Amino acid sequence: MRKDFDAQLEQLNNELIVMGSLIERSIEMTIKALTEQDKEQAQCAIDFDEAIDQKEKDIESLCLKLILQQQPVAKDLRTVSAALKMITDMERIGDQAADISEIALLLADTSYIKKLEHITLMAEQTAKMVTDSVDAYVQRDLAKARIVIDADDIVDNYFDNVKDDLIALISENVKNGSQAMDLLMIAKYFERIGDHAVNIAEWVEFSITGTHRRSIQS
């Protein structure tokens, strides 16, 4: 009865999977660029941002076409409107991965003032959150979405650890200040990526349950 409509929704799912995998790839490259001080990976992550931006535009057009042609209601409307909101956060994640890579490029030829242990953990945790949030949408998996939302606290704790370490390093030697600022920026970008993953997961929750937790709170 609604073959075309279902095909379009399937296409939307697939496009989101593709955009999700682009972001995951971009974060992976960013992590490698940072931990291995690999300039090539950093440049790749920066260049990748363009592909992510293009995918956002493609998905946006598809959503608008779906609304125009199918006038979706109920679950269908939530599926399309959630996708429209999610891609904004996904695009921002791509920007932030590129921002981190730009700093990684600057730091590639200097030795780090500290081990990147917590930053690496943050990077891995946020990458997982991004993957899980997109998977949760595609699989309509409410439990997975909620795990992502709860994981935000872990990322925030790592950020506090990084910040404390950097403050200590600056106290030890003022010359650490410049790189400490760069590393703090990197940690902050990862923390923001975590926030965007939470936003995505909240829209997944909305698309399944019909209520958005922020509208309940307000």
Partner 1 sequence: MAKIKITDLDLHYGDFQALDAVNLVIPEHEITAFIGPSGCGKSTMLKSLNRMNDLIEGCKVEGEILLDDKNIQELDVNALRKRVGMVFQKPNPFPMSVYDNIAYGPRTHGVRNKAKLDDIVEKSLHDAAIWDELKDRLKKSALGLSGGQQQRVCIARALAIQPEVLLMDEPTSALDPISTAKIEELVSTLKDEYTIVIVTHNMQQAVRISDRTAFFLHGQIVEHGTTEQLFSIPKDKRTEDYITGRFG
Interacting residues toward partner 1 by CB under 8 A: 1-2, 5, 71-78, 210-211
Please report how close the Cβ of residue 63 comes to partner 1 at its closest, in angstroms. 16
Q: Which is nearer to partner 1, 110 or 211 (CB)?
A: 211
Give me the least distance between CB of 215 and partner 1, in Å please: 12
Q: Are 30 and 126 in contact (CB under 8 A)?
A: no
- DSSP 8-class letter at 108: T
44 vs 77, beta carbon nearer partner 1: 77
Q: Which residues contact 52 (CB under 8 A, 6 or more apart)?
A: 19, 22, 23, 26, 90, 91, 94
| Residue 67 beta carbon to partner 1: minimum distance, rounded to whole angstroms | 12
Round to whole Å and give the CA distance between 60 and 23.
17
Q: Where are the alpha helices (DSSP H) in 3-73?
A: 3-35, 39-70
- The residue (of 9 and 148) whose beta carbon lies closer to partner 1 is 9
Rounded to 5°, the CA angle 23-30-58 comes to: 25
Looking at beta carbons only, is 73 or 143 nearer to partner 1? 73
Q: Shortest approach of partner 1 to residue 2 CB, angstroms?
A: 5
d(CA 128, CA 106): 26
Answer for the pair 199, 136: CB distance below 8 angstroms, yes or no.
no
Q: Is 60 exposed, middle or buried (0-12, 13-18, 19+ CB in 10 A)?
A: middle
Rounded to a whole number of angstroms, the minimum distance from the CB of residue 198 to partner 1 is: 23
Q: Closer CB to partner 1, residue 83 or residue 127?
A: 83
Residue closer to partner 1 (CB basis): 2 or 57: 2
Please report how close the Cβ of residue 71 comes to partner 1 at its closest, in angstroms: 6
